[in-house]
Chains A and B, each alone.
Chain A
Amino acid sequence: MSKWLNLRSGLGLALVAAVLIALPFVAGMGGQAWVRILNFAILYAFLALGLNIVVGFAGLLDLGYIAFYAVGAYTWALLASPHFGIHLPFWAILPIGAVLACVAGATLGAPTLKLRGDYLAIVTLGFGEIVRIFMNNLNAPINITNGAQGITMIDPVVVGQFKFSATSTIFGMTVTGPQKYYFLLVLLALFVILVNFRLQHSRIGRAWQAIREDEIAAKAIGINTRNVKLLAFAMGASFGGIAGGIFAAMQGFVSPESFSLIESIMILAMVVLGGMGHIPGVILGAVLLTVLPEALRYAVVPAQKALFGEVLADPESLRMLIFGLALILVMRFRPAGLWPSPERRRELAEKAR
């Protein structure tokens, strides 16, 4: 029985691995734009899993998560671009970005730990905006962030002689820049999935869940709720920082525009829509919310032409309209998320009764 199960899960794993490896090449046939969309889907899954530690595990509503992504992105931009003339290697910048984001997370966490629910959400929202406005205005008197123009010509990820931005031939196969980043992102995503899984079933993970369930009881049995919550903030933030660094390297350009409130909300939506606290659900949420708007972008114009013979509505606004409608429908009919954890589904089912 167990041998059979092992065989089955082994085959399943092999299949998933095969799909993951083939995916960028299949997408590449439709153009490199699709590979880039794929890359963003994974990057957002990474971000959503980072936020899942804060929101899903510890139950702290964070509306300013994008700030840590911004910290990571600007760290990479400043330490690997002609802006200051510094060009550090990736293995130095990523940890620096993670640590700086972690410090930013603790800075946000420390004064807000006594707040809960809506109050915490408002403070984190403010924090996210503060970081963005800082990036926008730190160009005078000393030019640090180059203000609204952003920073350009950022170094790509380079390992030895291997440049992630250029097309090269590996084992007789042509691999483009985005396809290389894809594999880097998959590796990072596997890492964050592992961290999430292991944290969830650990002493710290249980403490987070206990705080989410009943903070007073958690205190009374000896959990230092302040430290444990700070830990959640700091951990979530450091993943945001890593994602930000990769984002800067991949794009070659950062500006404050990329770190607006809507981005924070989108990442939170991925966590909630997928299934808060449930790792596969969060990944599904991130992939859907990244791919769906892009797919609609390509579908809206041809669909209108086929139906009415002409383009009646502006594709951009129509696309967001459909997207918003889809969000409402999902939350109305699957309030626990598209793929919730079994416990959470039961929880909500009981509340509805």
Chain B
Amino acid sequence: MNALPVLLEAQGVAKHFGGVKALRDVSLTIRKGEIYGLIGPNGAGKTTFFNCMTGLYVPDGGGFLFDGLPLKADAPHQAAERGIARTFQNIRLFGNMSALENVMVGRHVRTHAGVFGAVLRDRRTRDEEAAIARRAEELLHYVGIEDRADDLAKNLSYGDQRRLEIARALATEPKLLCLDEPAAGMNGTETEELRVLIEGIRKDGTTILLIEHDVKLVMGLCDRVAVLDYGALIIEDVPAVVQHDPRVIEAYIGVAA
């Protein structure tokens, strides 16, 4: 596993909100082709870490190296351009656009047509537009909701919305796909289907960073796992080791009196 090249390196990332230290010197490395789990109790700083990495927050200390080059802070659209895509813990779709349109918007960063192209509708723009629609349909099929293509995103079932958000993220052709609690609120069958989908995405060449509460899913799916507690990284290792680490058990269950 260690032979794989590094895709993302977090170097001493720190973030505080007023007096609350949400992240303290978090350093970790994600390798190409991995499914990397990030777990920790509620409020441990997992989503804050995501937001720093994807440029929605500016870290107060440290930074990220992605594919060998530093990631610019405070520039979410550039993070997406470099190849980082994400989903949100509380699903954020474009509710009044159709499922297909949601995925088509995801192609924005990989396409070029501007105002003049749109108004003149020249050959190149028409071809690009057709390619966008085709790719979006493929992606809907890939996540298994192609028959909901014309429905408004907000009318999709919860599980389908999660899938749509993944399809939209994949439309940006990410090198690293970050999933923020994708299994939250899902039942056993849905979680199992999600596991198959995530494994398929990895097999097709995308590295995955997974924040998850479902410990069984994380342990069964991830190659390596990092545990955050009170904003600090307490361990980064393979699931078998993490599972039995006393600090992890303490963080989750507390110390025996």
Contact = CB atoms under 8 A, between A and B. Distances in A.
Interface stretch (A66-74, A91-99, A198-206, A252-260): A198-206
A120 interface: no
A198 B121 CA distance: 8
Contacts of A209: 94, 96-97, 101, 105
Contacts of A222: 76-77, 79-81, 108-109, 172
Interface in A212-227: 213-214, 216-225
A223 B105 contact: yes
B118 A205 contact: yes
Interface residues of B, number: 42
Given A219-B56, A219-B76, A222-B81, A206 B118 contact: no
A220 B77 CA distance: 6
Contact of B92 (A198, A217, A223): A217
Q: What does DSSP make chain A's interface, helix, strand, loop or mixed?
A: helix
Contacts of A231: 115
Given A202-B113, A206-B101, A343-B152, A221 B172 contact: yes
Interface centre among B118, B128, B171 (most CB of A within 10 A): B118
A279 interface: no
B105 A199 contact: no
A310 interface: no
Nearest to A225: B77
Nearest to A231: B115
Contacts of B106: 221
Contacts of A210: 94, 97, 105, 108
Contacts of B172: 221-222
B175 interface: no
A235 to B, nearest CB: 7
A207 interface: yes
Interface centre among A198, A217, A219 (most CB of B within 10 A): A217
B104 interface: yes
A195 interface: yes
Contacts of A203: 107-108, 111-114, 117-118, 128-129, 132
Task: Sort chain A's interface into a size bin.
Answer: 20 to 34
B76 A206 contact: no
A347 interface: yes
A224 B118 contact: no
A115 interface: no
Given A220-B56, A347-B96, A198 B111 contact: no
B94 A235 contact: no
A344 B115 CA distance: 24
B182 to A, nearest CB: 15
Interface in B98-136: 101, 104-109, 111-115, 117-119, 121, 125, 128-129, 132
A98 to B, nearest CB: 13
B77 A198 contact: no
A191 to B, nearest CB: 10
A199 B121 CA distance: 10
Contacts of A225: 77
Contacts of B108: 203, 206-207, 210, 221-223
A138 interface: no
A217 B101 CA distance: 14
A194 interface: yes
A204 B114 contact: yes
A95 to B, nearest CB: 15
B93 A220 contact: no
A198 B113 contact: no
Contact of A204 (B97, B109, B115, B128): B115
Interface centre among A198, A220, A343 (most CB of B within 10 A): A220
A220 B54 contact: yes
Interface string B55-99: 110000000000000000000110111000110100011111100
Contact of B95 (A206, A207, A213, A235): A213
Contacts of A217: 88, 92-94
A177 B138 CA distance: 57
Contacts of B54: 220
Contacts of A346: 152
A87 to B, nearest CB: 31
B168 interface: yes
Contacts of B152: 343, 346
A213 B169 contact: no
B101 A221 contact: no
Interface of B: 54-56, 76-77, 79-81, 85-86, 88, 92-97, 101, 104-109, 111-115, 117-119, 121, 125, 128-129, 132, 152, 168-169, 171-172
Given A203-B111, A203-B117, 19 more contacts: A198-B118, A198-B121, A199-B119, A202-B117, A202-B118, A203-B118, A204-B118, A206-B104, A207-B108, A209-B101, A210-B108, A213-B94, A214-B92, A220-B54, A221-B108, A222-B80, A343-B152, A344-B96, A347-B96
26 contacts: A198-B121, A199-B115, A199-B118, A202-B118, A203-B108, A203-B111, A205-B118, A206-B104, A210-B94, A210-B105, A213-B96, A213-B97, A216-B56, A216-B92, A217-B88, A217-B92, A218-B105, A219-B76, A220-B86, A220-B88, A222-B77, A222-B109, A222-B172, A223-B109, A343-B96, A347-B96
Query: Which 5 A-B residue pairs are closest in the complex by CB-CB distance?
Result: A222-B80, A222-B109, A202-B118, A213-B94, A217-B92
